[in-house]
A and B are shown apart, each in its own frame.
Chain A
């Protein structure tokens, strides 16, 4: 039996506004608990919301970025439910008139092949506060700093056919949101969150089976695992003829246990009693506003990729990798702008740089190396002031300390030895103390050169200019100055 998996994704992204959706409180993450609050965002009696224009602006920008239509008239609605993290006991959201609808995003599937995922709608809403559970304490505390931070919810159609595709979709959305500076998309801080709806059916069937909603997914890795796990769970139930156990329900992904756990069945789900928010007038979005935002759209990942291929002659795969993170691409471009060769820069970035990023678990914007220093390092190697090998050592120190390459080379005495006299001395020493390899060379084993070069490098801590060293080495050997006596006899 061939099965087909059907997945739809809801993404919540915090918008990159300066202030909250309905008041002037700052949105900055990591403030002291309940510091970023005021009577409005903690819903004190008598307070009223005033909709932040920047929120609508960014929502329209998101809509345009994902090829959506924009509603000329939109409204806010109240979603009513009791929970302590929701200070008004209703969330101001959008029910039947979202700002954006009917869009799509294309996922690249290698050259000339795209997978178009339809977006049902994008609407704005306010975020809730956060419950802080204390260990061994009977109380739960509430932090309302997050309450009232503007969110967009991006709802896809059930167009995704595998967990991998779902992850690709979220990555594509995230990338575009970051390129257009709509959201910071920090999954670890919760500024990008996703819920997934998943069902499976026999391949070729048209009807959709009962879907299950998965919540509490905090990373791409978890998304993949949670979906695979749920896909498997449903498959097994269908295979074992227990389809009645696939119920419309919400399941929580428990990353520690590595499985999904039922939170509530459909019958237990709440009636949110949506109705139009009477405190906020209808939102009117005219054509000129939309056009104005259209003009402000910056480069998209795909556009940048093509530019990199054309302007820098990069390989498609490299360009793809570089543009998968806006900050990485920006970094690359600044290094090149500082005078480094693009192709060499790409090799550095996709090689040592990404490796160190991963090992140190930091993001590009936390990197200490200034772009101009990065370029300088590349050029020092190019000019053979230092060898590639020393360069790697210097790079690592740069990464950890942020120091300029020249300073590091100076401090550690890593400058390449290019002085002919100095090198000649070292070559002589190596030749005298390595009689066996020298003999080998004369016996025709030319690979002995490699060993001798290695010894030169070892003697100079890698600082010897390789080309000059090799020239000198060959010169000395050809003079047969170092031809051992007994061998000489034989000749």
Chain B
């Protein structure tokens, strides 16, 4: 009845209106499919079948009665398990929060519920979103739906895999250094990290507060624009969100022409040793954009070479402080092995945090000690400001920047898990946007010879989501035409 691999939100909305199937049928089929294939893929950590079906029935009734419906009425979605959901377990992929049930909804979750999207479940991730392969989850390894021997990317690996395998039609990810874009790229779907401050972080369990953003993962650009319309906006519960006065919705703005757009191609993102297949596919896409009237020029962004170091110092420093609250006292895991309060806290943290989390807490703690603050944290912040300035400079002359999303193809499960530095390198092209607070989108631009997805990244100035989406949409159209030829 339904081709889940192809189905988009737009398709479902049309089908529901024409009564091709009911929301209940759709949701029940999704769960059938989850039971069929998610044992293998491992996208979900928690499912909420009962509430989903109940909600589906209610929306069907509304459809029947011709009542006014939310923008995402009846659309099955998935939430990364580091985003709080009221009365629904939120583990962050960590043993620390294995039984943690938040008493409140994250603002984005609230907004999606108001838009009447149906939450199917919570998706797997690297513990506390720290990782690039979803192998750091305390619960399971998620597989790449395109190739079960490979990782789906991370940390939003479960979210990307759920969309790519048709186990949800939109999923929420969080992106601190590429955690939405890199798995979107690896799974062949669209992922957007919005401008810092566009989407509320309230309810996102913080990894690195100054870098984290929640964003959508969808099958195509149109769905991305639609869900961003639902999620974006100032939230009084998150003082780092900003009011944006845009004239039209993101959805309405994607269809405009991109003729006068000037795109920069930083040569640092296309080094000689870059995987040739990635380089070729991205360059092909750039050519397609050129054919639609965009101007493309090569530029230099030398500072981005240092971005990875700055990123790992700042993100780990903030993480060491953000994760300090997990002490076994108020909620979450508590060690049974203690004689006094210090032992309680130390043993709890020792037993419940995974290796990668501990590694970053140690690095971050070190970087913040009064002895090393200046040479580490401060220096990294200094670099961060320079990165911001360099991007600002580029955006004085160009509308957008284009690059590969990842310098590498999805790698094999277990391949890099013992080499954290090599793993960190897969974030090379994505971390800059977080450091500069810029919006960046990854979309599929083709496949490798071994049929692995390749992603292209579009970065814009702050709050240029409309422009990014419009360009991505145009490219998506061109790629589809090219493919059908």
> Contact residues of A with B, CB < 8 Å?
39, 42-51, 78, 80, 82, 84, 87-90, 140, 142, 271, 273-275, 278-281
Contact = CB atoms under 8 A, between A and B. Distances in A.
Contacts of A50: 236-239
Contact of B369 (A45, A48, A271): A271
A49 B239 CA distance: 8
B92 A45 contact: yes
B341 A84 contact: yes
B240 interface: yes
Contacts of B236: 50
B239 A46 contact: no
Contacts of B373: 273-275
5 contacts: A51-B239, A80-B368, A82-B345, A84-B341, A275-B318
Given A46-B203, A278-B318, 16 more contacts: A42-B330, A44-B102, A45-B102, A45-B325, A46-B90, A50-B236, A51-B239, A82-B324, A84-B329, A84-B341, A142-B329, A273-B320, A273-B365, A273-B370, A275-B373, A281-B239
Contacts of B205: 45-46
B225 interface: no
Contact of A89 (B204, B239, B240, B324): B324
Given A47-B202, A87-B330, A273-B369, A281 B240 contact: yes
Contacts of B368: 80, 273-275
A275 B317 contact: yes
A280 B201 CA distance: 12
B84 interface: yes
B84 A46 contact: yes
Contacts of B202: 46-48
B324 A80 contact: yes
Given A42-B330, A84-B329, A279 B97 contact: no
B97 A48 contact: no
A194 B93 CA distance: 44
Contacts of B320: 80, 273
A286 to B, nearest CB: 18
B427 interface: no
Contacts of A82: 324, 327, 345
B324 A84 contact: no
A304 to B, nearest CB: 39
B206 interface: yes
B395 interface: no
A279 B205 CA distance: 12
Contacts of B324: 80, 82, 88-90
A48 B201 contact: yes
Contacts of B318: 275, 278
Which 10 pairs from chain A and chain B are nearest by CB? A89-B324, A278-B210, A273-B368, A278-B209, A45-B205, A46-B203, A46-B84, A46-B205, A88-B325, A89-B325
B467 to A, nearest CB: 25
B164 interface: no
A42 B100 CA distance: 15
Contacts of A90: 321, 324
Contacts of B239: 48-51, 279-281
Contacts of A281: 239-240
Contact of A275 (B102, B201, B204, B377): B377
A89 B331 CA distance: 13
Interface of B: 83-84, 90, 92, 97, 100, 102-104, 106, 201-206, 208-210, 236-240, 317-318, 320-321, 324-327, 329-331, 341, 345, 365, 368-371, 373, 377
Contacts of B104: 39, 44, 47
A81 to B, nearest CB: 9
Interface centre among A47, A84, A274, by most chain B C-beta atoms within 10 angstroms, is: A47
B17 to A, nearest CB: 36
Contacts of B369: 271, 273
B91 to A, nearest CB: 10
Contacts of B100: 45
A88 B326 CA distance: 8
Interface centre among A82, A87, A273, by most chain B C-beta atoms within 10 angstroms, is: A273
A48 B108 CA distance: 14
A74 to B, nearest CB: 15
B106 A46 contact: yes
Contacts of B327: 82, 84, 89
A269 to B, nearest CB: 11
Contacts of A89: 321, 324-325, 327
A69 B262 CA distance: 48
Contacts of B106: 46
A352 to B, nearest CB: 52
A279 B84 contact: no
A90 B331 CA distance: 17
Given A273-B365, A273-B369, A281-B239, A43 B325 contact: yes
Given A80-B324, A271-B370, A44 B237 contact: no
Contacts of B326: 45
Nearest to A51: B239
B227 to A, nearest CB: 20
A272 B327 CA distance: 17
B213 to A, nearest CB: 13
B346 to A, nearest CB: 9
A45 B365 contact: no
B380 to A, nearest CB: 11
Contacts of A278: 208-210, 240, 318
A281 B365 CA distance: 23
Interface centre among B320, B329, B365, by most chain A C-beta atoms within 10 angstroms, is: B329
Contacts of A273: 320-321, 365, 368-370, 373
A37 to B, nearest CB: 10
A46 B129 CA distance: 13
A140 B329 CA distance: 11
Contacts of B97: 45
A279 B206 CA distance: 10
A202 B282 CA distance: 77
Contact of A78 (B92, B208, B321, B370): B321
A284 to B, nearest CB: 13
Contacts of A47: 104, 202-203
A87 B84 CA distance: 18
Nearest to A45: B205
Nearest to B212: A278
A432 B394 CA distance: 116
A280 B209 CA distance: 10
Nearest to B205: A45
B148 to A, nearest CB: 32
Contacts of B84: 45-46
